[in-house]
Structure 1
Amino acid sequence: MDNDLNYGEDYKFIPATSVGSGVGIEVMPDLYQYTIQIVNIVLYGNKNTNEFVLIDAGMPKSADEIISVIEERYGPNSRPKAIILTHGHFDHVGGIIELIKRWNVPVYAHSLEMPYLTGKQNYPEPDPSVSNGLIAKMSPLFPNEAINLGDNIETIPSDGSIPFMPGFRWIHTPGHSPGHISLFREKDRVLIAGDAFVTVKQESLYKVLTQAKEISGPPQYLTTDWQAARESVEKLEALKPLIAITGHGLAMNGEELKNNLKKLVESFDQIALPKHGKYLN
C-alpha cells in the first residue's frame, strides 16, 4: 500500500451546495445517483450485492458521506470492487484518498488523466471570466493541483471494457479534461456522461442551488479544449442514449434527453461556449 498518497496543497472544503445535496435517486435498479453538495457520484450494482462499483469520488472532505451512502445501500462494511474516475477534477476525486485507505481497492482512469492523478502535472487554472455566474466567479478557489494516488491508480483497459462493469464500455470524451471518459451500456442505452455535458447551468449559483434542469455543455470554468468538447458531445449524441446521468444536475431520459442533446449539438456555440474566456481558441 502506497503511503505517499496526497492531495494538492490547495485541497480544501468548498462551501457550495444545492437542494439536491444529500439526495439519492435510483435511476435504474443497478444505477444509483447521489448528490454531494453540487456534484454526483454514481453507484453501479443492485442493492445489497457485493459486486458494486463507485464512479467518481465527490467533493473535498466527502469520504465519510460516501462511505455512509454505500453502507446504507449495500450493507455495513461494504466496499466496492473498484472506483472508476470519469476524470480527475477536484469535485470528482474529493474523497478518493480516504476511500483508498479504507477499502484498498483499485482506481481506474484514462491514461491521459494520469499526470494529474500521480502528482506530475496540475490542471490548468479555473477561468472565472467565462461567466458572471457566482460559481464561475468562485472558481479561482477550486483546487487544481495534481493529487498523487501512487500505485493505487491504474489505466483503464484500452479495449474499452470497464473492470467489474460488464455490459458497459468507456468512451473517450475529452475537452473538459484530456482524459475524460463517459460510460455507455448498449443494451439499454444508458449513459454515464461525467462532465462531457451536464443537466444544470453549472456556472450559475442560483441554478446550481435550485438544480434547475437544462442541458448545458461541460462546466465552462474548467473546460480547456472547446473543439474537443464539441466533438465529445457529438459522439455521445450519436449513441442516442435513452437515459443520461451527468456529473452535475438531475438524470435526463426519453424524449427530453433526445431533444435536449440534439439541441446541444445543433446550438453548441450558443448553449455551451462561454462568450469569452482564456481557453477559447
Structure 2
Amino acid sequence: MLELAPGVSQLADFPRNQINVYVVENILVDAGTLAARGRVLRQVTGRDLQANLITHGHPDHFGSSRAVCTRLGIPLWAGVADREAIETAIPATGEGRLARLMGKFPLAPGHPVTRVLHEGDEVAGFTVLEVPGHSPGHIALWREWDAVLLCGDVFFNIRRPSQPPGFLTWKPDVNRQSMRRLADLRPRLVLFGHGKPERYGPLERMPI
C-alpha cells in the first residue's frame, strides 16, 4: 500500500494504476472487480476499517464489495442515486449496443447499501460531492485543507485527464458539468479510478 497524502493510501495492483482502490483513514474507497477480492482482502485485513465507500455503481468499483464487506463485517456506503445499481448489480450505462449488453449481464454480485451519501456529508475528513454523469449517483471526496480530491471516474487518466468513455457513461453532457466543477476546485492532488495520481501546482487547473 502506497501513502499518497496524510491518511490516504492506494492499494497495490497489477497493472499499476489500472483499477484503483484507496484507503482514506478507516474507509475503503471502491473495491475493484470481482477478481480483485483476494488482492484487496490481503492488503486490508488487520486494518480497523469502518466501511467500504463506493464512488459509483459500476462493477469494476463494487465488484469485490460483497466479499470484502462480508469477510470484514463492515457496511457498504454509496451515493443515493446509485444504491439500486449496486444492490442489483445492474449499472446505468451509456448509449449503444455494447452498453445495453453490459447492463443485461451482471459482472459482479450486488450487495446491500446500508448508508446513502449526499452532498456535504463528511467522511473521514473529506466532504462528499455529488458529481453525476458517469453514473446517476456518482460521488467524489474532497479535502479542502490540502486540496486532495478522489474523483472516481468523473475523469479517466489513462494518458491524461479526460472524459470517460461515452459508452460507459450514463450522461456525458452531465459528466462534463461535473468535470468543470471538480476542476474549478483547483485540487493539488487528484486520485482517479483509472490512471496514475496527478499533482498540480497552486496556480494550475486540471485540463478538461
Q: Same fold (TM over 0.5)?
A: yes
Amino acid at match of 1:25: L
Q: 1:126 deviation in Å?
A: 7.4
Tell me if the contact between 1:81 and 1:106 (Cα under 8 Å) persists in the aligned partners. Answer: yes
Aligned twin of 1:100: 69
3-state DSSP of counterpart to 2:66:
helix
Q: Which one-letter code corresponds to 1:154 in the other structure?
A: R
Give the superposition deviation at 1:258: 3.0
2:197 alignment counterpart: 251
**Larger mean Cα displacement after TM superposition, 141-150 or 31-40:** 141-150
The reply on whether 1:224 has 2:170 as its aligned counterpart is yes
Identity %: 26
Question: Equivalent residue for 1:179?
Answer: 137
**Under a length normalisation based on structure 2, what TM-score does the superposition of the two structures give?**
0.85
**CA pair 122-248 structure 1, distance change in 2 beyond 3 A:** closer
- 1:149 match: 111
Deviates more, 1:90-99 or 1:31-40: 31-40
Count of aligned pairs: 204
CA deviation after TM superposition for structure 1 residue 105, in Å: 1.0
> If you compute each CA radius of gyration, which structure gives the higher value, 1 or 2?
1
Structure 1 CA distance for aligned equivalents of residues 32 and 66 of structure 2: 11
SS of the residue 1:118 aligns to = helix
2:5 matches 1:25: no
Aligned-residue offset at 1:61:
2.1
Alignment deviations for residues 124-169 of structure 1 (CA, whole Å, 9 cap, x no partner): 3775779xxxxxxxx967986385323x53212x362234x12x10
Give, in angstroms, the shift of residue 117 of structure 1. Answer: 1.9
Residues 127, 216 of structure 1: alpha-carbon distance in 2 compared, 3 angstrom cutoff: farther
TM norm structure 1: 0.65
1:68-79 to 2 correspondences below 5 Å: 68-71=42-45, 77-79=46-48
8 Å Cα contact 1:125/1:140 also seen in 2: no
Aligned match for 1:170, one of 128, 140, 159: 128
List alignment gaps of at least 5 residues for structure 2. Answer: none
Matching residue of 1:60: 34
SS in 1 for 2:204: helix
Compute the RMSD of aligned alpha carbons.
2.8
Distance 1:235 1:122, change over 3 A: closer
Gapped runs of 5+ residues in structure 1? 1-23, 46-51, 72-76, 131-138, 201-212, 265-281
Equivalence map 1:38-49=2 (5 Å): 38-45=18-25
Output the CA distance in 2 between the equivalents of 1:111 and 1:78. Answer: 27
Residue matched to 1:191: 149
Match of 1:87 in 2: 56
SS of equivalent to 1:87: coil
- Supply the distance in 1 between the matched residues of 2:28 and 2:182 (Cα, whole angstroms): 22
Residue 109 of structure 1: SS of its match in structure 2? Answer: strand
Shift of the 144–33 alpha-carbon distance from structure 1 to 2, 3 Å rule, reads farther
